Structure 1
């Protein structure tokens, strides 16, 4: 087998991004968020056909922890939660959108 001398180990940031983007439903959530405004949980559920609510909640949490989404709880009765792309999330969303559009 021939080894490439220029091949370097995958940077940790790239590995983390690949892991995150490889999780089921993450690309659909980014696609639904790509328009730019705030999106509520039920809006994600309506936009992403077939996603189980528990999985949606977990993926939103994963994206928030990764710094891709920002979660904001509104001071309303009942309380409402909105999600927005962070600046990093917007950059990632633009890449995903461009890749999906071909």
Structure 2
């Protein structure tokens, strides 16, 4: 199991988890990867409106380094790259589901 190696993430489980999902688009990317087992870069860019190509690439790279996302390069012309959740990423999404339920119940109007 890959663990984050970010500074300060080793003293608390919450801090470690937050360091992995820290980034404006990461949770949206995790959600889209949960909805479909494999997504291409262009698909993710379309499905997460507002994210720039540069930021998308950087956040996917960080998620890959943290063991949350798997990047598979298919040797074709042109090259095809697909992203998918690792088992660790799937468990992270399961944990985020509870957080989303809490937010919907406590922060969204008319959701009680």
Q: Same fold judged by TM-score > 0.5? A: yes
Instruction: List, as ranges, runs of 4+ consecutive aligned residues in structure 1 with deviation greater than 3 Å.
Output: 10-14
What is the CA–CA distance in structure 1 between the aligned matches of 2:46 and 2:98, rounded to whole Å? Answer: 23
Shift of 1:13: 4.5
Match of 2:35 in 1: 35
Q: Give the TM-score, by structure 2 length.
A: 0.74
Match of 1:57 in 2: 57
Q: Give the TM-score, by structure 1 length.
A: 0.81
The answer as to whether partners of 1:33 and 1:84 remain within 8 angstroms in 2 is yes
Structure 1 residues 42 and 97: CA distance shift in structure 2, 3 A = farther
Unaligned runs of 5+ in 1: 1-9
Secondary structure of 1:34's aligned partner: helix
Match of 1:6 in 2: none
Moved more, 88-97 or 63-72: 88-97
What is the CA–CA distance in structure 1 between the aligned matches of 2:98 and 2:14, rounded to whole Å? Answer: 18
Q: Provide the alpha-carbon RMSD of the alignment.
A: 1.7
Unaligned runs of 5+ in 2: 1-9, 105-112
Offset from partner CA, 1:4-52 (integer Å, 9 cap, x none): xxxxxx7345322212212211111111111241111001001001001
Asked if 1:81 is matched to 2:81, the reply is: yes
